[in-house]
Amino acid sequence: MQFLRDARYTLHVAFHPFDGFWDLKYEERGRLRIALSILLAVTLTMILKRQFSGYVVNFNHPLELNSINELKYIIIPFLLWCVANWSLTTLMDGEGKFREIVIATGYAMMPLILVYVPNMLLSNVITLREASFYYVLETVAYLWFIWLLFIGTMTVHQYTVLKTIWTMLLTLVVIGVMIFLGLLFFSVIQQFVSFVYTIYQELTLRR
Amino acid sequence: MKQAFIILAAALLLASIRPAPAAAAPYEGYVYSYWGEAVHSPIAYLPSRSITGQEAGGEAWLAANDLFATADGLLYILDSESGSITVLDQEWQLASRIESFERDGEQDQFRNPEGLFVTPAGHIYVADTDNGRVIELGPGGEFIREIGAPESDVLSAGFTFFPRKVIVDKAGRIYVIARGVFDGIIEFDSDGVFTGFMGTNRVAFDPIDLFWKTISTQEQRDKMIRFVPIEFNNLALDQEGFIYTTTADRTSLSPVKRLNPSGIDVLRISDEYLAPIGDYSRVRSTFIDIDAAMSGVYRVLDSTRGRVFTYNEDGSLLYVVGGLGNQQGTFRSPVAIANYEDRLYVLDRDLGRVTEFEATRFGQLVNEANALYAGGKHHEAAGLWREVIKLDANYEMAYVGIGKSLLRQGEFQSALTYLKLGNDRIYYSKALAKYRREYMQENFGFYMTILLPILLVGFIGRTLMRRHRKEAQVHAVSQGR
């Protein structure tokens, strides 16, 4: 029952973001499990969307659909965003804790579910001529999500508008740096492993 | 238990024996799916016979460069090395052989001729390349006229005329492709007077080259390669009098053009992602010859992989025949194609050989179905497309054909299934609109009978709930809580 009440609160956040995000932080209405459930639900929505959106707007090759990809495209960016945002705001006088950032980001993704699911059902009965409505709704969902993320970040860290925009852009840069470092790390490890293996081979083949 | 094992083993053994292919071909049949993937398809044409110069009763064709099949089944083979034309009849017996012709009482010969064309009346036009002229011969090989280099102010002073390919349309206009001419096809009127160029290829710009060109000096610029349009390398006339051209261009998406009489490209491409460019691979196909068949179908010859691609008038790939190799039905350096009825001829220059291909049952079905389909006879075509599907369940065009036919008959629901299988979103959408309307007309009453009571009950319930809550509040207040 408590879970349902918490879940219902996400709607309040989506429709009254200023009030909603304030209460998330200062009235302790935010729940980590709700945020993570939303993350899971978004992933599920995207998987369903790829499979079941109407043929007229669905350009996915059925043989190339892979649910694991959604992990790559949703969960990893989510985690990267949270970590990058936290790392950055700690240095930039942000007031948010890591937990609060995860909660705010999670709650901000609610519109994706709210719009994508009905849109997916709708797409099955529309023709090419009406397909533009589908794409408009997709864009609306996306902009709504960005808007909520913006308000969320601003409230959690108690930033001004400009500083929030600046921080969000910088967060994207930091994500880029993190991906770069990650790839570099893997590449170095790979080189290292192959180097050790070559030496091992050299020693075993030589007597 | 042991017995069961033996039976199982026997069953497995039987299952592993597959029927051998009915007729083994040295190449594989395939088409491209909507997703641009090569999908196996039955072989549409099989090699039936082949002939070399000696077998035709003459010298070997050392450098045969062009081939022409007339409407009555005669086959003309032009050998550049000896400058001779061999004419074969339908049974491939030597009908005639032209090695020289008499002109004003003197014997004259071709020098390295590269192209020939035969009019419906049997007149032979030869692009006599190294002599810089086009020769018209009568049906018996007698000299009629010579068409020399075009005379015009637009041509530079040092222009030398090397005609490579020639065609003549119904009105007698002569179209010539010449080596080193980038302005397009050279057009002569029926009297052999130069009238102009048509159908120029556009210059393809490379942004990087353009950048270097803008920052370099005049001296540097003079030494660079000039941006010139790629020249056409072959041409063919179709039934409607339009000209198909090919370009050995591996970068653009339009190596094939269909020019109308004013030189504008009117080639139909239904799916721009699946343009008729041959193989969709990193190393692109190089088209070197084109031939128009019946009902808007055209075939192009790819010299990179020695394949003949056959497209319908919408630019959809119907089937692929041939390949490089050493067996009958494959080529070493194919240079020209021709077709007559359900037969396809490919000329191989290095082997000096003409190979004939005959349509298999699959090829015939596709040809017939496509002809009906192109003529708008969707219902008749659908019957044949169903036969095609029995042979090849992956043939998308067949599903689209059946889907369109069902759509016209008003079978919207099954049309949807077929159009989805054929990956035709435009017609799927049309069928969906009609199906939706039909469905709502039939079921509107049913949904309303369900929806209205639900709404009614919901509304009444809500009003009651509110009244109840209000009463409870009033009660609580009056109780002083």
Domain architecture of chain B: domains with CATH:
32-359 (2.120.10.30), 361-448 (1.25.40.10)
Residues of chain B in contact with residue A127, where contact means CB-CB under 8 angstroms, are 429-430, 432-433, 436
Q: Could you tell me what percent of chain B has a pLDDT over 70?
A: 93
pLDDT score at A111: 94
Residue B428 has its nearest CB partner, among A56, A125, A129, at A56
Residues of A near B (Cβ–Cβ under 8 Å) read 55-56, 61, 125, 127-129
Q: What is the DSSP letter of B254?
A: -
Does B426 score more than 70 pLDDT? yes
- The interaxial angle of helices B361-374 and B378-391, nearest 10 deg, is 160
- pTM as predicted: 0.83
For B468, the token pair is 């109840």
For the segment A65-85, the average pLDDT, to the nearest whole number, is 92
B425 → closest Cβ in A56, A61, A125: A56
For A36-45, what is the mean pLDDT?
94
* Residue B229 confidence (pLDDT): 72
pLDDT band at residue B19 using 50, 70 and 90 as cut-offs: very low
**Distance from A130 to chain B by nearest Cα, in Å?**
10
pLDDT at residue B273, rounded to an integer:
84
**Count: domains in chain A:** 1
Task: Return mean pLDDT, chain B.
Answer: 88
Region A147-162: what's the mean pLDDT? 94
What is the mean predicted confidence (pLDDT) over B268-291?
Answer: 89
Asked if B433's CB is within 8 angstroms of A127's CB, the reply is yes
Of the listed ranges B1-10, B107-116, B467-476, the one predicted with least confidence: B1-10
pLDDT at site B20: 47
**Quick check: B301 pLDDT over 70?**
yes
Regarding predicted confidence, which is higher, B294 or A140?
A140
User: Chain A contacts of B428, Cβ < 8 Å?
Assistant: 55-56
pLDDT of residue B13: 60
Return the number of CB contacts < 8 Å for A and B. 20
Range of the domain at A68: 2-205
Confidence label for B227 from pLDDT (cuts 50, 70 and 90): low
Residues in A closer than 8 angstroms to B35, CB to CB, are 61
Q: Which residues contact B194 (CB under 8 A, 6 or more apart)?
A: B150, B151, B152, B186, B187, B188
Q: Do B426 and A129 touch (CB under 8 A)?
A: no
Does residue B181 carry a pLDDT above 90? no
The model's confidence at residue B480, banded by pLDDT at 50, 70 and 90, is low
Nearest one of B316, B304, B246 to B274, comparing CA atoms: B316
**From CA B14, how far away is CA B7, in angstroms rounded?**
10
Is B432 close to A125, i.e. CB distance below 8 A? yes
Chain B residues inside the 8 Å CB shell of A56: 425, 428-429, 432
Edge-to-edge order in the sheet of strand B194-198: B163-168, B174-178, B185-188, B194-198
**CA atoms of A10 and A36, how far apart (whole Å):** 12
Backbone φ and ψ of B51, nearest 5°: -145, 145
Q: How close is the nearest chain A Cα to the Cα of B425, in Å? A: 6
Find the DSSP H helices in B75-188: none
**For B360-399, how does the pLDDT look when each residue is reduced to its tens digit (9 = 90+)?**
999 999 999 999 999 989 999 999 999 999 999 999 999 9
